[in-house]
């Protein structure tokens, strides 16, 4: 990996540098503190980032009423966090390999706390957008650092598999807890409280993390590729931004095509630059290992199928079945609980069945669950939905667990930060592509059903084609028989679009099952970790 050489005796090639303070034992913590305590600290870090990714969703109406942002400003308030986070993952992941993973993690804690205070006290949309961007930068520091430190603290693959299972279960809890926690806070406090809760937690995490977490770096041979890091950051930002806009109302506009083209061009130049450098920022030869490249592809496919599906499912529960946001969150809770169970059981499943069978089976289970949900229509079927969500959550987490564990174990310990950043970036890219792709599929299936409803003016039908929520608003303005006809047609068209989207998602998941056949058949616990 990258870095500058230092004076003094050189360590053997491939052995990661450990800078241990005198009090530390075995490189894993202070006396009496086990690596499992370190795992708890890392999981708390991850929990905060995962919660913050979704906690704002339920606060958007309150933010809109208070700050009065324009349509574009509101879009940036919601999207700037994942955009910045995805763009900076490789930069900060490899920087951790260079200057110290714990150091980057602690800097992320500090930035996250300051940005949370700025967001909570924002009095203008521009301030909130800037604060959310800083939160994304803090999240990009924290996420790969937690996974790379976990890789370092758990050199034994069996123990590391169990730790990754706990780590992934916490991530599932955080993503699900965000809307529920946000809804609770909004019932008692103002919208800024969803950010203010981060401050005391970060104030505690900083000293605890500095005391308990071990420091480690990768190779320091050669300079850190600053230009390459910036190319990766801006390239990923442009690519993810373009992908997000493709799923919007104007996918072929210059505002979509130009950032996407520039982002892809920068990423191509970044790859060419890394291949030519003697000490690359990211070791692209890792992708030549079937287990690593396949694992990254499986993460992308799993997220691609899931995230767009979750977005459509949330709209179905609220707009078709008429559930409240809190009821919607509770209805999706079985999915999260099943994902937690799969994460906690993942280590044993991986040792018994091996990466290939585990990941492929997870894809198949998820695809079958998705297909089972096609029986949902205009009437509520809670038993079918709960059963489908349970299998879906268990299958998806099984897939992600096996893919993450295989990817991280295949990467040398000295490049743990870069490998973790690649995994998290693939997660974000899969999510962005999923929203764009499945959103486009949904719109294509939904639109014909509302454009030519008998008795409804063509202008009203054109407005209703944008979304089911807008169709309901148009129907309310029309009133009478035309309004009732448009509402019924829009609901039926949405259900049809949901079924088509589910079928496409299942196809992507079956494709992932085929890709997983390239993974190793057994879990190799005897492979050197460095």
Q: Looking at residue 416, what is its pLDDT? A: 63
Whether residue 135 contacts residue 112, with contact meaning beta carbons closer than 8 Å, is answered with yes
The whole-number average pLDDT for the span 441-470 is: 78
Predicted confidence band at 417 (pLDDT cuts at 50, 70, 90)? low
The whole-number average pLDDT for the span 156-182 is: 74
Mean pLDDT over each residue of the chain, to the nearest integer: 77
What whole-number distance in Å separates Cα of residue 485 and Cα of residue 480? 9
Give per-residue pLDDT as tens, 314-371. Answer: 778 877 888 776 677 777 788 878 888 887 787 788 888 888 898 999 999 999 998 8
Give per-residue pLDDT as tens, 92-114. Answer: 877 877 778 888 888 988 898 89
Least trusted range by pLDDT, from 120-134, 161-175, 266-280: 161-175
Predicted confidence band at 259 (pLDDT cuts at 50, 70, 90)? confident
pTM of structure: 0.74
For 49, counting Cβ atoms within 10 Å of its Cβ (0-12 exposed, 13-18 middle, 19+ buried), the class is: buried
Predicted confidence band at 63 (pLDDT cuts at 50, 70, 90)? confident
- Tell me the three-class secondary structure of 421-480, residue by residue: HHHHHHHHHHHHHHHHHHHHHHHHHHCHHHHCCCCCCHHHHHHHCCCHHHHHHHHHHHCH
Q: Looking at residue 105, what is its pLDDT? A: 87
Give per-residue pLDDT as tens, 274-301. Answer: 788 777 777 777 777 777 888 888 888 8
- Those residues with Cβ within 8 angstroms of residue 297's Cβ, 6 or more apart along the chain or in another chain: 426, 512, 515
Whether residue 393 contacts residue 334, with contact meaning beta carbons closer than 8 Å, is answered with yes
3-state secondary structure of 103: helix
Q: Is the dihedral of CA 38, 112, 142, 401 positive or negative?
A: positive
- Those residues with Cβ within 8 angstroms of residue 236's Cβ, 6 or more apart along the chain or in another chain: 86, 87, 89, 90, 263, 267, 425
What's the token pair of residue 241? 């931004």
Name which of 146, 142, 138 is nearest 39 in CA terms.
146
CA angle in degrees (0–180, nearest 5) for 93-96-101: 115
3-state secondary structure of 412: coil
The whole-number average pLDDT for the span 227-254 is: 74
Predicted confidence band at 2 (pLDDT cuts at 50, 70, 90)? very low
Predicted confidence band at 414 (pLDDT cuts at 50, 70, 90)? low
Rounded to 5 degrees, φ, ψ at 124 are -145, 150
Q: Looking at residue 102, what is its pLDDT? A: 84
3-state secondary structure of 295: helix
């Amino acid at each position: 990996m990258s870095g500058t050489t230092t004076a003094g005796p050189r360590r053997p090639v491939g052995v990661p540098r450990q800078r241990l303070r005198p009090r530390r034992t075995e490189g894993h913590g202070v006396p009496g503190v086990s690596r499992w305590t370190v795992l708890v600290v890392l999981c708390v870090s991850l929990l905060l980032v995962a919660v913050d990714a979704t906690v704002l969703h339920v606060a958007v109406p309150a933010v809109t009423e208070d700050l009065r942002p324009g349509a574009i400003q509101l879009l940036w308030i919601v999207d700037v966090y994942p955009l910045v986070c995805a763009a900076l993952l490789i930069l900060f992941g490899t920087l951790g390999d260079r200057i110290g993973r714990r150091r980057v993690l602690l800097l992320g804690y500090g930035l996250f706390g300051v940005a949370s205070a700025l967001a909570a006290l924002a009095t203008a949309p521009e301030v909130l957008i800037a604060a959310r961007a800083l939160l994304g930068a803090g999240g990009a520091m924290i996420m790969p650092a937690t996974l790379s430190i976990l890789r370092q603290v758990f050199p034994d693959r069996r123990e590391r598999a169990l730790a990754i299972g706990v780590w992934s279960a916490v991530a599932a809890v955080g993503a699900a807890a965000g809307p529920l926690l946000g809804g609770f806070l909004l019932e008692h406090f103002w919208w800024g409280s969803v950010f203010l809760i981060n401050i005391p937690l970060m104030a505690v995490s900083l000293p605890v993390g500095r005391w308990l977490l071990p420091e480690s770096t990768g190779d320091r041979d050669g300079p850190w590729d600053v230009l390459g890091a910036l190319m990766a950051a801006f390239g990923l930002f442009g690519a993810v931004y373009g992908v997000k806009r493709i799923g919007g109302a104007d996918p072929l506009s210059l505002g979509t095509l130009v950032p996407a083209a520039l982002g892809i061009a920068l990423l191509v130049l970044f790859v060419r630059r890394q291949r030519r450098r003697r000490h690359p920022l990211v070791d692209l030869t890792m992708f030549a290992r079937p287990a690593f490249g396949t694992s990254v592809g499986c993460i992308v496919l799993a997220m691609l199928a899931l995230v767009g599906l979750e977005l459509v499912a949330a709209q179905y529960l609220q707009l078709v079945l008429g559930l409240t946001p809190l009821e919607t969150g509770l209805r999706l809770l079985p999915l999260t609980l099943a994902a937690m169970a799969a994460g906690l059981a993942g280590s044993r499943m991986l040792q018994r069945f091996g990466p290939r069978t585990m990941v492929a089976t997870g894809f198949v289970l998820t695809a079958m669950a998705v297909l089972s949900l096609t029986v949902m229509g205009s009437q509520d079927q809670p038993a079918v939905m709960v059963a489908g969500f349970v299998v879906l959550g268990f299958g998806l987490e099984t897939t992600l667990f096996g893919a993450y564990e295989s990817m991280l174990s295949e990467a040398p310990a000295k490049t743990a930060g870069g490998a973790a950043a690649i995994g998290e970036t693939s997660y974000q890219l899969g999510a962005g592509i999923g929203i764009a792709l499945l959103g486009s599929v949904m719109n294509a299936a939904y639109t014909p059903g509302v454009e030519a409803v008998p008795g409804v003016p063509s202008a009203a039908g054109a407005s209703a084609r944008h979304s089911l929520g807008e169709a309901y608003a148009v129907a309310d303005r029309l009133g009478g028989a035309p309004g009732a006809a448009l509402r019924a047609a829009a609901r039926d068209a949405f259900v049809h679009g949901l079924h088509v989207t589910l079928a496409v998602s299942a196809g992507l998941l079956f494709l992932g099952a085929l890709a997983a056949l390239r993974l190793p058949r057994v879990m190799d616990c005897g492979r050197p970790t460095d």
